Structure 1
């Protein structure tokens, strides 16, 4: 059930109406059942995978509350379903086994659920607090606004809020504009760009330099608008129900260095990697090998995104870029003057876009063809399709610094609620109807 489709809007209205009417004592049970139903709309059999992970998470916290000596084993066990569904075919190909007959459909959101499980277990050991109930664990993991693609939650952020599920008019008025901005970015920016660039990345050797450049920068905008749109709609939906989710994007293309962009891009994943992978690695490797922590962390981040050499190389390249910036003191140097910062923002976006070709390409050969096309293919001519994509790119970058959760909310707070709600509802319904004619998954549903 996609956020931008009429089916989700109907589901959410019915759920919110029921949550408002149901007694407080049963709100969490009601939300858990609704979240499981929401997940089952995608593929019913894999609902049992989600239920199994919930049960495993609850049992793990029960065990860890008695002894933390099992933490490493439980973390490894929690990774097994993810490894089985996502990496088995990739591992078979590495060892030379024909994996053509081994194709598993990836359970929706399993990468995000797995990271949520791991953070919950580690937080249980660190906090030494009493373990949560099965109901709380189930709702923490499966809460439908963030279940499929985050933001990645922390126990201390989410658990205390579960007792305060509620629907109030002012929450809806305050968060409708954020949902509307999200659906606008998905349906009117990300999806049109995707329809243009998909053929280019399928066979880049057949396209000229101008086509490749538009596709490359276009994908940077597509993946941002697509994923930040999901985050906006997830945060807005949860907030309408009384739950505050963490911000996931903060105008990342306004960053003047790669270190800064990773503090602004998919922030809950970046913080997860920092707290549960980078810091522990740094403590073990000591100060002299801190740069190795960057490389390992980012390479594993690439592997988390997908079982493909392109993702691994993409992560490793970003690890090397972070090492270079730290080694040269680049971030301090580039931030000293306004001119340097402005130049850094443009250079950063160019560099990000060049590297993200690896992320988008189906394999390394295609990525090589894409890069090779910049100096072997002809320049080409500017045509109407370019005009649309370049216009969407320019519009996104022009308003990019305002594209933050609190800024969007505060902007609409200044407007009369009647006008704000009318514009938001009209935009949501219009985009939803348009999306229903050509529904497209969110890009991160593949991960």
Structure 2
């Protein structure tokens, strides 16, 4: 008998969680839900938080050390990383603009918002006090906060993830600059640890259907209270949130990338979209940039005329450190959760989300479910309730498929741009393409 795919299990868990939440709420068993079902959702959240720091640290170090020599790091590497960071920054910014314009999290009834204000009032007061103390600090305090004084202490605090990222970047660059024979054992160690951590992610995601079931059951029960009909508010808001995310992803895939290809790469946009289409379909079906990588490399080399040296350097790095779709989604999700909880984020806090999402995307594993782990980092860095992740788990599988398409499209776009900028034409492949056209 064929094993049921994980995403179907998650969808089933989502549906059953909503149904059970409505049933228990109608029966007045909200306390039972809180005591006997919600803890399993909390366990799932803790498992995600457990893996966040080691996943970012090891993935980021491996991503940087994939550049095998300092010459690559200087020319092709610097241009590749520069464009990757630029597109990620643009993606997060687009997400924040859209979520502030459409405000999907503010669509609840006044009664529901009042319930949230009362239930989470103490947490909100604590965050406001923290925000007030931060406002009294100097203008360069955010820069100081990025530099750790004790990496082991920072690694024990998910809220200090920028410090872990800073350490990983310095550590990875140092490894690239040292004689590769000397660092070969260290590189092999981190590659081995990376494989173990990715397997841990796989194991944790096996628990995802049950975690989603428990989270949504308790969430629906909390929302509905004594009136199950109020849960309709939640479903409507989730639909609006999903549309905002999809709109942002569409702007990146069909607006930003084509424009950059035209202006920076001087490349035919129609030819690019036609050539990369098979990789986009693979990305949509697998939700994994890593699983799609062989197809992406084949299309970029054979259909887009990119030299093998460029593709073999830029694309694997992109699958590791370039997650534009994931970053956009994280920006929208973070502000959406803040809106739901009635938390007003300042411009500085939202800029902090941009920075954290941009840097965290560098350490995001190219596997399904990694975006949720990265979102934990963004939420904690912004001081937002991590429990709000339950709100967005329901539509996450479909959105994950869409944002992986953007991730792969972004990798291919940057690969073409770097090829054009470095003047490294593949004449044989270019001639083949010319004959096809």
Common fold, TM-score beyond 0.5? no
TM-score, normalised by the number of residues in structure 2: 0.25
Relative contact order, CA 8 A, sep 6+: which one is greater? 2
**Which has more helix, going by share of residues?**
2
